[in-house]
Chain A
Amino acid sequence: AQSVSQHNHHVILSEAASLELGCNYSYGGTVNLFWYVQYPGQHLQLLLKYFSGDPLVKGIKGFEAEFIKSKFSFNLRKPSVQWSDTAEYFCAVNAGYSTLTFGKGTMLLVSP
């Protein structure tokens, strides 16, 4: 069975600081990797995804993530956060067309 762990439950940053949110997964086979974001009062939105190819994937709003197979990691990064990035961020995996397995989420608070 797949599992996903996100290292931080809460992260507080000032605007313009750099962001890295950790995500590790456990699964023996090929996986698809996702980062979702949930802004306050809104639905889960896909930030970016990795299926195959270049392990550095770029998503919306300046976010990127790097898949490191040897470390079973898919960390989310943004060089300079904005107040509007305040949200909860979820890492998720699936194998093929199977259902998503989510991490617990990381609440990011960006102070202006």
Chain B
Amino acid sequence: EPEVTQTPSHQVTQMGQEVILRCVPISNHLYFYWYRQILGQKVEFLVSFYNNEISEKSEIFDDQFSVERPDGSNFTLKIRSTKLEDSAMYFCASGRAGSTEAFFGQGTRLTVV
């Protein structure tokens, strides 16, 4: 069964460093999402991406965040200058055209020290 895969599963980085979280969505899906979950809090929407551009973003998704689909298979989330409060589990998800269902990856746990 096809699934969304995320790498790495866990990343530790120093405050101020840039990180790139990688996702390979399900191959025939057209909608891509990033969500995050800070420990003990809700899963929060960050950004959605369709047709090679951001279709929606939350207020969390400020200028330090960016997304890219560099090669037609990967979907990346870049955090330019990490802060302690960026420590969270980051989930990538993808969805088919015409469907409201999202398929999630297993998440990347980002720890900023």
Contact = CB atoms under 8 A, between A and B. Distances in A.
Interface string A20-36: 00000000000010101
Interface string B1-24: 001100000000000000000000
Interface string B78-107: 000000000000010100000011111111
B48 A43 contact: no
A44 B42 contact: no
Interface stretch (A68-76, A79-87, A92-100): A92-100
B101 A99 contact: no
Nearest to B102: A100
Given A49-B101, A97-B100, A43 B43 contact: no
A105 B101 contact: no
A99 B56 CA distance: 8
Interface size class of B (residues with CB under 8 A): 20 to 34
Interface residues of A, number: 25
B105 A102 contact: no
Nearest to B50: A97
B45 interface: yes
A94 B100 contact: yes
B4 A99 contact: no
A63 interface: no
Interface string B36-75: 0000011111001000000010000000000000000000
Interface of B: 3-4, 33, 35, 41-45, 48, 56, 91, 93, 100-107
Interface of A: 4, 32, 34, 36, 41-46, 49, 51, 90, 92, 94, 96-105
Given A43-B4, A92-B43, 6 more contacts: A34-B101, A51-B100, A90-B43, A96-B100, A100-B45, A104-B42
